[in-house]
């Protein structure tokens, strides 16, 4: 097996045993990037010199500390492991563009908390991955710079908005990556690229240094090749952060302890509202087959209802644009980022924002500004917040009956680049099964569960209650170990 094809935990075992060095591993991944990224276009910024320097430091520290092999529970679980970071998360001294011209030259003076925690765990930071502009999109076609391509079929999208991170993991251009999930932006690209994507509970992971799209929905997540890697990365980035007022001050159990493989007696809910007309038949068939596998493993399959599911899409596209409208008001050409001088201050605002933002961002700012405007606030934004409470209540009642809820991650497999760019509604429907998790603030994970006739991956979503990461990881791991979907690699 090529070094770039290793899982994170496989690489860590080889590093700890002294069979490979961090420099060898990092160089192998950099060579892989050089070989395939002209086709995939997963990265916006690469930092090869800094990455190799971090790898050399990891090798020196491992030898100096006598960590070959490493003791159980070592404090630096990612020492020497090459990781990528979505380009909407601040990295000190490395450009952070949010996939937007308006931040094209922005270099943050500090690291986001999640990046600081990666570094503290010994990770090697390879660079920044492509994203839909300000994370607004389902295909990574809304990046101001270029679209990312799906490694399974270069004519198709990798999903979005964390499409760069998902494509990088799938193509062997990193061993794991950080993404963000506001309405499915970790889980849906993970499904399209045939990998694991974990969206933690809102507040489980710090948002400090995450450039905001919709503050009550955004959450940093992880993209990996298997469930074990997702648990390892979650252990590193989860936990209370006093710099984030929405961060939960709750204990963080060791996520790898959940990976028992035993789900006998667990109750798995199947929401009738998530199997709808218009779904790709192969997607439904693959998820139904996965449910049968879970039953074979000893789980009890229970039908549940989430009656307000139909309202999730309109509710999301009122709340998220409203919060985006407020959050993106700071990009005015005065304090930082792009500045295009006009004949007056107002003209400078118009010129900067008009030329700095792309069409999807402008569309959502206008939607959000309208929803918040005088005379419409109560009718739209306030009503959407009330329905959001009903959606959360649906999940609360369902989790009184079951341990997890299982459904498709997306109604289709990856679509062709350009196929939906002229039809925003069809694009938004790509996230119809993932939006509710963010509205309810709960956790969810995508795992591969099959392929369609075109050889494109199909994803299954396992949803759990707030702070239920241990439970969804347990179910995901049991299914993964009973199947081989996660071992498949794209032909690129």
Sheet holding 300-304, edge to edge: 43-46, 124-129, 82-86, 176-180, 220-224, 196-199, 443-451, 457-464, 404-408, 267-271, 300-304
Query: How confident is the model over 459-473, as a mean pLDDT?
Result: 98
Which residue reads 């809910």 in tokens?
Answer: 269
Catalytic residue among 100, 143, 161, 325: 161
Average confidence (pLDDT) over 398-423: 97
Residue 476: closest CA among 424, 409, 399, 429: 409
> What whole-number distance in Å separates Cα of residue 139 and Cα of residue 144?
13
Predicted pLDDT at 215: 97
Whose tokens are 């499409």? That residue is 163
Provide, rounded to the nearest whole percent, the portion of the chain with pLDDT above 70.
98
Average pLDDT in the 81-93 region?
A: 98
Task: Note the pLDDT of residue 126.
Answer: 98
- Looking only at the bridges linking them, the beta strands covering 267-271 and 220-224 are unpaired
Predicted confidence (pLDDT) per residue in 136-163, tens digit:
999 999 999 999 999 999 999 999 999 9
The model's pLDDT over 106-134, given as tens digits with 9 standing for 90+, comes to 999 999 999 999 999 999 999 999 999 99
Cα–chain center distance at 453: 26
How far is residue 233's CA from residue 473's CA, in Å, rounded to a whole number?
Answer: 12
Please compute the mean of the pLDDT values over residues 86-112 and round it to a whole number: 98
User: Does residue 89 sit in helix, strand or coil?
Assistant: strand
Q: Quick check: 131 and 99 in contact, CB under 8 A?
A: yes
User: Nearest to residue 126, comparing CAs of 94, 100, 158, 104?
Assistant: 94
CA distance 101 to 145: 8
Given 138, 139, 143, 185, which residue is catalytic?
185
The pLDDT of residue 74 is 52
Q: What is the largest CA-CA distance in the chain?
A: 70
Residue 174 has pLDDT above 70, yes or no: yes
Q: Please give the structure tokens belonging to residue 142.
A: 């809304």
**To the nearest whole percent, how much of the chain has pLDDT over 90?**
94
Q: Is there a contact between 193 and 159 (Cβ–Cβ < 8 Å)?
A: yes
* Residue limits of CATH 3.90.1300.10 in the chain: 3-266+403-487
Active-site annotation holds for 162: no
pLDDT value at residue 70? 46
User: In degrees rounded to 5, what are phi and psi of residue 218?
Assistant: -60, 140
| Mean predicted confidence (pLDDT) in 164-182 | 98
What number is the average pLDDT over the span 61-76?
Answer: 62
3-state SS string over 439-461?
HHCCEEEEEEEEECCCCCEEEEE
Residue 172 burial by Cβ neighbours in a 10 Å radius (0-12, 13-18, 19+): buried
* Cα 330 from Cα 474, distance rounded (Å): 42
pLDDT reported for residue 71: 45
Q: What does the alpha-carbon distance between residue 42 and residue 128 come to, in Å, rounded to a whole number?
A: 9
Residue 215 CB coordination number (10 Å): 15
For residues 336 and 105, give the distance between their C-alpha atoms in angstroms, rounded to a whole number.
9
The architecture in CATH of the region 3-266+403-487 reads Alpha-Beta Complex (3.90)
pLDDT band at 335 (very low <50, low <70, confident <90, very high): confident
Q: How far is CA 422 from CA 45, 149, 189, 237, 321, in A?
A: 28, 18, 20, 37, 19
- Produce one character per residue of 343-376: b if its CB has 16 or more CB atoms within 10 Å, e if not: eeeeebbebbbeebbbebbeebbebbbebbeeee
Tell me what the pLDDT averaged over the chain comes to: 96
Q: Are 137 and 145 in contact (CB under 8 A)?
A: no
Q: Is the pLDDT of residue 437 over 50?
A: yes
State yes or no: pLDDT of 481 exceeds 90: yes
Given the residues 41, 86, 199, 420, the one annotated as active site:
86
Supply the pLDDT for residue 484.
97
54's enclosing H/E stretch is helix 48-64
Q: How confident is the model at residue 15 (pLDDT cuts 50, 70, 90)?
A: very high
Kindly state the average pLDDT of the residues 207-219: 98
Q: In this predicted structure, what is the pLDDT of residue 62?
A: 84
Structure tokens at 69: 């092999």
Neighbouring residues of 49: CB distance < 8 A, sequence distance ≥ 6:
none
Instruction: Please say if the pLDDT value at position 53 is more than 90.
Output: yes
Confidence bin at 65 (pLDDT 50/70/90): low
Give the torsion sign (CA, 389, 391, 397, 401).
negative
List pLDDT tens digits, range 245-267. 999 999 999 999 999 999 999 99
Closest to 13 (Cα-Cα) out of 175, 162, 215: 175
Paired tokens of 453: 């006739």
For this structure, is 185 an active site residue?
yes
Has residue 202 got a pLDDT over 60?
A: yes
- Alpha-carbon distance 96 to 105, whole Å? 8
Q: Tell me what the mean pLDDT of segment 430-438 comes to.
A: 96
Backbone φ/ψ region at 66: left (φ over 0), alpha (ψ -120 to 50), beta: left
pLDDT digits (tens, 9 = 90+) for 339-381: 999 999 999 999 999 999 999 999 999 999 999 999 999 999 9
What does the pLDDT look like over 290-334, one tens digit per residue? Answer: 999 999 999 999 999 999 999 999 999 999 999 999 999 999 999
Tell me the helix, strand and coil percentages in the chain, rounded to 5: 45, 15, 40
In which residue are the tokens 């109604």 written? 411
pLDDT at 368: 97
301 secondary structure, DSSP code? E
Termini Cα distance of the chain: 15
Q: Other CB atoms closer than 10 Å to residue 253's CB: what's the count? A: 13
């Amino acid at each position: 097996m090529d070094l770039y094809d290793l899982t994170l935990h496989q690489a860590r075992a080889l590093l700890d045993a002294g069979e490979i060095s961090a420099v060898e591993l990092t160089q192998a991944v950099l060579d892989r990037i050089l070989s395939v990224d002209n086709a995939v276009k997963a990265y916006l910024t690469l930092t090869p010199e800094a990455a190799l320097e971090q790898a050399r430091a990891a090798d020196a520290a491992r030898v100096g500390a006598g960590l070959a092999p490493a003791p159980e529970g070592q404090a630096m679980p990612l020492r020497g492991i090459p990781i990528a970071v979505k380009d909407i998360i601040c990295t000190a001294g490395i450009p952070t563009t949010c996939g937007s011209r308006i931040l094209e030259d922005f270099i943050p003076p500090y690291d986001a908390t999640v990046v600081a925690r990666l570094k503290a765990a010994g990770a090697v930071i390879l660079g920044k991955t492509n994203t839909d502009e300000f994370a607004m999109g389902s295909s990574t076609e809304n990046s101001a710079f270029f679209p990312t391509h799906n490694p399974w079929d270069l004519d198709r999208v990798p999903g979005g908005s964390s499409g760069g991170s998902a494509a990088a993991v799938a193509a062997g251009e990193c061993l794991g990556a950080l993404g963000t999930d506001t309405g499915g932006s970790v889980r849906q690209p993970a499904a399209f690229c045939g990998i694991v994507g974990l969206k933690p509970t809102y507040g489980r992971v710090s948002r400090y240094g995450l450039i905001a799209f919709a503050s009550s929905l955004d959450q940093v997540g992880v993209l990996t090749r298997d469930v074990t890697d997702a648990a390892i990365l979650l252990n590193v980035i989860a936990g209370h952060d006093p710099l984030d007022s929405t961060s939960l001050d709750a204990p963080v159990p060791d996520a790898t302890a959940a990976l028992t493989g035993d789900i006998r007696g667990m109750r798995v809910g199947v929401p009738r509202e998530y199997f709808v007309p218009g779904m790709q038949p192969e997607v439904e068939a693959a998820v139904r087959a996965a449910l049968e596998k879970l039953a074979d493993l000893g789980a009890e399959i229970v039908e549940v209802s989430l009656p307000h599911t139909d309202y999730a899409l309109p509710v999301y596209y009122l709340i998220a644009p409203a919060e985006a409208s407020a959050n993106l008001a700071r990009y005015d050409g005065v304090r930082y980022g792009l500045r295009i001088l006009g004949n007056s201050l107002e003209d400078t605002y118009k010129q900067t924002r008009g030329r700095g933002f792309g069409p999807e961002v402008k569309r959502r700012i206008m939607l959000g500004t309208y929803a918040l405007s005088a005379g419409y606030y109560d009718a739209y934004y306030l009503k959407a917040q009330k329905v959001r409470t009903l959606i959360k209540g649906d999940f609360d009642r369902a989790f009184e009956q079951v341990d997890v809820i299982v459904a498709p991650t997306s109604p289709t497999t990856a679509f062709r680049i350009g196929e939906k760019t002229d039809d925003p509604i069809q694009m938004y429907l790509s996230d119809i099964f993932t939006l509710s998790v963010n509205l309810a603030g709960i956790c969810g994970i995508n795992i591969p569960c099959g392929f369609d006739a075109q050889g494109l991956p199909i994803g299954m979503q396992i949803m759990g209650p707030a702070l239920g990461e241990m439970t969804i990881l347990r179910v995901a791991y049991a299914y993964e170990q009973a199947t081989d979907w996660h071992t498949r690699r794209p032909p690129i």
